Structure 1
Amino acid sequence: MSRRSVLSGRVLGALVAVLATVTTTSAAGASVSAEAGGGGPAHGRFDNPRHGFAPPGTVLRDAAPARVGLDPAPIEEAVATVGGWTTSHPTPGTAHPLYSGAVTLLAHDGAVVSRSATGYAVRYADAAGTELPQEQRVPMRGDTIFDMASVTKLFTSIVVMQLVESGDVDVDAPVADYLPEFGVNGKESITVAQLLTHTSGLVSWVPLWSRYPDVPSRIQAVMDIAPRTTPGTNYEYSDLNLITLGVLVERLTGDRLDEVVARRITRPLRMTDTGFNPPASKLDRMVATEFQATPPRGMVRGSVHDENAWSLDGVAGHAGIFSTADDLAVLAQTILNGGSYRGARILRPATVAAMLDNHNEEFPANAHGYGFELDQIWFMGGLTGPRTAGHTGFTGTDLVIDLASRSFAILLTNRVHPSRNWGSINLARETLSTGLAKALAVEPERGRDSWYTGIGDASQSTLTTVSLRPSGHVRVVFDAFVDSEVTDRLMLEASADGLTWEPVPLTVSGRGAPEEEVVSLSGTGHRDWWTVRAQVPHAAEITLRWRFVTDARYTGRGINVDNLIITDRDQMLLNGEKEPHRVRPEGWQLRSR
């Protein structure tokens, strides 16, 4: 394939897929996006996944959650929990909070439904966590500017894909076609796509800042390094991949990466607080990050935290971007719109589709698009699915974009202030995204309500029938909406004595349902009701229960069961729609959404 081909084979494949739902013209802002299958809007729905992109004219506005069909309670609970961790820690006995401060922003269908700012942008004086006097602390604000760390990788990846659109880059071509000095020491065959998907075989990190004396030698070290594994055979998240792509962008455009990002992304989208090396005039709005003794930088504020990016003059493909929640929201809505916002198009819909397609199917736990991480429950929580994309940043930032519900969640913290050793904030990331997922509705399959359980980690909930007296084999039919981590499982169990329980094999049908008979249900992303059938051998007396069990970490939106019908050969033993009082819930509740 020619280096001048407008789109690689992979991108063309995505174009075929997206044309089913999106019609485009070459004029910026002139695209038309339509839902597959027609029908009206599905505001506030989790169980009615959307197809294609949002209309390209969608512009963010503030609205109460209920105005777009969301339940405000889960959002308020999640935001309060995330905000509470600016003064406490979820692990009992920990002497410091989870992070100094946090800013959150949640949006659905073009509506910003929640904003919050809690805690402090600057709170500590040293690495030990000595608190500054109250008058010297800087409160967190909605327009506080954060060091985005690895969220920078999304900006670099977007610029690379713009070069794919212009025909200057083929994602399937060797990187050495564009950077000949890179094609040494076993890297001759590494492709642009492998850098974007972290399958190049390069090691995750090298201390460029301390091993090499200046910017040219640090870049040369990346060009010279040998792969740790055979390219294309392993997934290893690597900063070196994106540093290389940043150099590629500079080589092909003739400009420094910060200038390219500004010209091609932030200025067209009017992201006025986003860029590398922010000006000193904005220092009063910037968060402090870490107190660094090595290198001797003191309390870092207004300069990139990542040592390698700092040693590259603050401009690198893997880290260095600063931004705000509102600016990042514009980027998120641009992706949901298929690459345009307020009439400015930075990517074609087909290119966005290619960026959000999973190119790592051979590495199931590491789904990855071109630059975007996909389907990662550890930070996407209840929004997790094959069409959920995003990225995290080491400093305590993340962005989660859920195409299926046209929603996104932004969490910005300064979790490394004053020390990176104060721990992970993945629980906060998961909590915020799950709060938005739970605000979205799952409508009952039949009647006004369904049984719902949204228990958290290391928990169990049961829904138990009264004792039944069948005259033969028992047949069970019910509907289930399952959104859970694969290790969090819903089981149907039977007991003849109410003490000893045995799992009942299940036959399941519906989009994303198991193809074989199973004894438990789990999974995320399919967002469809399943019809479940089971048969229980005859016993004089039988009790049935639905039991949902979660493991120590990570949960999805939860489980709904509905339309419970239990019969034997002669009679109806239990009709859940008409006799909900004959089912005893522990950790379940009847919900209309």
Structure 2
Amino acid sequence: MAHRRSGAGRLRTITLGLAVAVTTAALPSHAATAAPGTGDGTAHQESVSPLGSAGTSALARPPVGSEPPTVTPSDIRFRHDTLRRGTAREVGLSPGQVGRIPDDLAAYLEPTPDHPGHPTYAGAVALAAKDGVIVQHTAVGTAVRYGAVGAPPELAGVELPADQQIPMRQDTIFDLASVSKLFTTIVVMQQIERGRVSLDAPVARYVPEFAAGGKAEVSVRMLLTHTSGLPAFAPLWSSYPTPAERLAAALATPLAAGATPGSRYVYSDLGLIALGVLAERVTGRPLADLVRDGVTAPLRMTDTGYNPAPQLRSRIAATEYQPYAGRGMVWGEVHDENAWSLGGVAGHAGVFSTAADLAVLCQSLLNGGEYRGRRILRPETVRAMLVNYNAGLETAYPESDRGLGFELDKHWYMMGLSSPVTFGHTGFTGTSLVVDPLSHSFVILLSNRVHPDRGWGSNNVARRAVARDFAEAMPVRPRTSEAWRADPRDAATVTLTAPLRRPARGGTANFLFWYDTEPRFDSVRVEVSTDGGATWEPLRLVLSQGGRRWSSDGTVSGYGGRVWWQVSAELPERATHLRWSSSTDVSSQGRGVYVDRIIAADRDGLLLHSEGRDAGRLVADGWSSARS
């Protein structure tokens, strides 16, 4: 409903081992202006790092007329935080927004419009932290809710009696599914650091049989970025009788028909299985031992590993009923059939963990590969892992954005935490983690969404809800006492219209602008009308912040640097109205769109001043007031 409101710099290079290089513009010193914990660009006297006191604002310095600003791994400033429990206020977060996470998680324990016939999951655990402070760690629902091992088939999807269900706990252990790929990735990167593996060497140099099926030129980098040309999956568990034959078949799998290595993104379990084998070959040690000694032991992740001990079963979340594999209700064993058929340890799946243990892993990455004085990766390695190596693919699209092992900038589950250097991963069982190095924050969601049946659907709605809640807890502070914000609606176009006092005789419009949207799918368009609002044309913009300037044809989208921009535009003769039109797709959003301090004038004087007597002239249809 409509309503009115009353009265480029020096270049630096990062190198890692052989043939890993990132070149980027250095961050200008004046970027340290973000208020603590907000990333809103509000002026602040302290300067802790070149990203601002909370490390939340980062922009390269493009010349006028260049592409919109961005941020690269070279702009990240690692800290040395140690996790502790604390309050949202300690780190500049909104307690109310952080407090929404448990309620939003609990809402998916019952049918919702997204899952009308059943719950999204039986239970879940979420953990959120910023600047080393754990501000939320909550558990909802049950770890075991449906027919357990030994139940007859007809009871597999039937709720157990209440006294047989096992409540979810903060320390419940989850099957991480594909989040396991990150552990394999770290182990491989450790071998690169030690000179045992070259990133751009053919995998067949280390695993000769991998060359079969047209894969002789597939490199280690291609497997890490899912650009090898391998198919996504093969049913190894049902096609071959022994673990040895299954593994041999995985390594011998040919490229997909018509595939050219390095040209196209296809997410592939088979590639990570091969990387697990590669790590074993170059070290002469089992993958499980490499993960233990290289990751979980130094980080003291005592609840993390493959094939959890039987005595831990009461703490483990059950997954799926799999009668087709002769397994019954899977509980305490890896859910992924291929990993299970390989003995529970594979490069693509098999790791079990808790939210608290994963928090240590996330914090170690935010610290540049170190935690409590124990290092698992070099800082330059972590930076190299966060480069989007798939940006130049023939078929580049948002889902293809990948670093080495990590997914990058995925609004579909990262929401407002997303940025060009935000990284994470999801797992089929309902797990995910999102790490935002610009705000030094992360959020973890672990659920048993496949319990009792994967066919009940995904938990992406819950992933988005948790990430949205945490991102919304980082307030964007208006530059005046009150700004306008586009309401965060899905599949909507909302407008803020400003009638001028009289038709303009040329002149200019100036306003403050903060934007962060899902790139390519959500955008905001600034428009002008010369006929009383009957028709609209885009208004060419020049955006300035500090010493940075760039221009737009009137539409902006994507990462805006998490700063306020000063925007100016030349008005056409006889201009009568200005309008800000924000459009979103069916799901996934950024931090939002804000407009503040709108002033328009021509040679005859003021045409509009949003803080003065014209405040009541603005007409908001789907925009709301945002206050300091």
Q: Tell me the CA shift for residue 505 of structure 1.
A: 2.1
Does 2:476 align with 1:433?
Answer: no
Deviations 1:159-185 (A, max 9, x none): 000001111111111111111111222
Residue 350 of structure 1: CA displacement? 0.7
Local SS of the residue matching 2:580? strand
**Could you give the per-residue CA deviations for residues 467-502 of structure 1, whole angstroms, max 9, x where no partner exists?**
521351352221211111232221233446656241
2:55–2:440 CA contact under 8 A, matched in 1: no
Give the gaps of 5 or more residues in structure 2.
1-14, 30-44, 60-70, 148-152
Question: Is 1:475 matched with 2:483?
Answer: no
Stretch of structure 1 that moved more, 324-333 or 58-67: 58-67
Match of 1:112 among 114, 122, 134: 134
Is the counterpart of residue 447 in structure 1 residue 471 in structure 2? Answer: no
CA 1:97 to 1:508, structure 2 compared with 1: closer, same or farther past 3 Å?
A: farther
Corresponding position of 1:252: 282
Tell me, in whole angstroms, the C-alpha distance in 1 between the residues paired with 2:94 and 2:55: 10
Other-structure match for 2:616: 581
Distance 1:179-1:398 versus aligned 2 partners, 3 A rule: same
Cα shift at 1:575: 1.5
Contact persistence 2:511–2:596 (CA under 8 A): yes
Residue 45 (structure 1) shift: 7.4
Amino acid at match of 1:84: A
Counterpart amino acid of residue 76 in structure 2: G
Aligned equivalent of 1:531: 566
The answer to whether structure 1 residue 397 and structure 2 residue 431 are counterparts is yes
Question: What is the Cα deviation at residue 347 of structure 1?
Answer: 0.7
Q: 1:561 aligns with which of 564, 589, 595?
A: 595
Counterpart AA for 1:225: T
Query: Is 2:240 aligned against 1:212?
Result: yes
Distance 1:330 1:17 in 2: 31
TM-score (norm 1): 0.90
Q: Is the 8 A contact 1:18 1:52 kept in 2?
A: no
Q: Deviations over 1:197-233 (max 9, x none)?
A: 1111100000000011111111111221111111111
Deviation at 1:551, TM superposition (A): 1.7
In structure 1, the residue corresponding to 2:481 is in which secondary structure? coil
8 Å CA contact 2:156–2:329 kept in 1: the answer is: no
Residue in 2 that maps onto 1:25: none
Question: Which residue of the partner structure matches residue 520 of structure 1?
Answer: 555
Match of 2:143 in 1: 121
- Aligned residue number for residue 303 of structure 1: 333
- Please state how far the C-alpha of 1:40 moved relative to its aligned partner: 2.7
Q: Of the candidates 147, 158, 168, which is equivalent to residue 130 of structure 1?
A: 158
Match of 2:136, SS? strand
Partner of 2:122: 100
Deviation at 1:531, TM superposition (A): 3.1
Aligned counterparts of 1:352 and 1:427: Cα–Cα separation in 2? 29
Per the alignment, residue 389 of structure 2 pairs with 359
- Paired residues for 1:50-61 under 5 Å: 51-56=75-80, 58-61=81-84
> Residue 124 of structure 2 contacts residue 447 of structure 2 at CA under 8 Å; is this kept in 1?
yes
* Superposition pairs of residues 158-557 of structure 1, within 5 angstroms: 158-228=186-256, 229-363=259-393, 364-365=396-397, 366-444=400-478, 446-466=479-499, 468-485=501-518, 486-495=520-529, 500-510=534-544, 517-524=552-559, 526-539=561-574, 542-557=576-591
How far, CA to CA, are the matches of 2:26 and 2:268 in structure 1? 30
In 2, are the aligned partners of 1:478 and 1:532 still within 8 Å (CA)? yes
Which SS does the other structure have where 2:209 is aligned? helix
Counterpart in 1 of 2:176?
A: 148
Q: Is the 8 A contact 2:495 2:580 kept in 1?
A: yes
How far is the alpha carbon of 1:562 from its aligned partner? 1.6
Whether contact under 8 Å (1:493, 1:501) holds in the other structure is no
Contact 2:199 2:219 in 1 (8 A): yes
Classify the secondary structure of the residue corresponding to 1:410: strand
Query: In structure 1, how many angstroms separate the alpha carbons of the residues matched to 2:199 and 2:251?
Result: 19
Shift of 1:18: 10
The equivalent of 1:8 in structure 2 is 17
Tell me, in whole angstroms, the C-alpha distance in 1 between the residues paired with 2:542 and 2:101: 33
Q: Is the CA contact (8 Å cut-off) linking 2:273 and 2:346 kept in structure 1? A: yes
Cα 1:513–1:10, aligned 2, differ >3 Å: closer, same or farther? farther
Q: What stretches of structure 1 of length at least 5 have no aligned partner? A: 1-5, 22-36
Hey, what does 1:31 align to over in structure 2?
A: none
Residue 592 of structure 1 and its aligned partner are, at CA, apart by: 3.8
By how many angstroms is 1:196 displaced?
0.6
- From the superposition, tell whether residues 99 and 508 of structure 1 become closer, same or farther in structure 2 (CA, over 3 Å): farther
2 CA distance for matches of 1:562 and 1:44?
23
Given that 2:47 and 2:53 are in contact with CA atoms closer than 8 Å, whether structure 1 keeps it comes out as: no
Change (3 A) 1:189 1:481: same
Amino acid at match of 1:246: G
Q: Deviations over 1:70-110 (max 9, x none)?
A: 11222223442222111232427x12111111110111111
Displacement of 1:244 in angstroms is 0.3
Range moving further from structure 2, 544-553 or 415-424: 544-553
Q: 1:569 to 1:504 in 2, by over 3 A?
A: farther
Give the aligned partner of residue 77 of structure 1: 100
Counterparts of 2:462 and 2:360 in 1: how far apart (Å)? 22
Q: CA deviation at 1:195?
A: 0.7
Q: Structure 1 residues 220 and 45 mapped into 2: Cα distance closer, same or farther (>3 Å)?
A: closer
Contact 1:144-1:286 at 8 Å conserved across structures: yes
Paired with 1:518 and 1:467, the residues of 2 have a C-alpha distance of 22
Q: Kindly, what percent of the aligned residue pairs are identical? A: 46
Give the whole-Å Cα distance in 1 for the aligned partners of 2:404 and 2:265. Answer: 14
- For 1:77 and 1:89, locate their aligned partners in 2 and report how far apart those are by CA, in whole Å: 17
The residue type equivalent to 2:625 in the other structure is L
| C-alpha spacing 1:508/1:9, structure 2 compared with 1 (3 Å) | farther
- Over 3 Å counting, the alpha-carbon distance change for 1:318 and 1:20 in structure 2 is farther
Verify the 8 A CA contact 1:416 1:422 in the aligned structure 2. Answer: yes
Residues 120-177 of structure 1: per-residue CA shift (max 9 Å, x gap):
1111126763111111111111000000000000000000000011111111111111
User: Partners of 1:220 and 1:550 in 2: how far apart?
Assistant: 47
On the 8 A contact 1:382/1:483 being kept in 2, the answer is: yes
- Give CA-to-partner distance per residue, 1:241-287, whole Å, 9 cap, x none: 11001011111222211111111110110000000000111101100
Q: 1:75 to 1:453 in 2, by over 3 A?
A: farther
| Aligned CA distance change for structure 1 residues 222 and 527 (closer, same or farther; 3 Å) | same
* Equivalent position SS for 1:244: helix
TM-score by length of 2: 0.85
Q: Using the alignment, how far apart are the partners of 1:528 and 1:508 within structure 2? A: 15
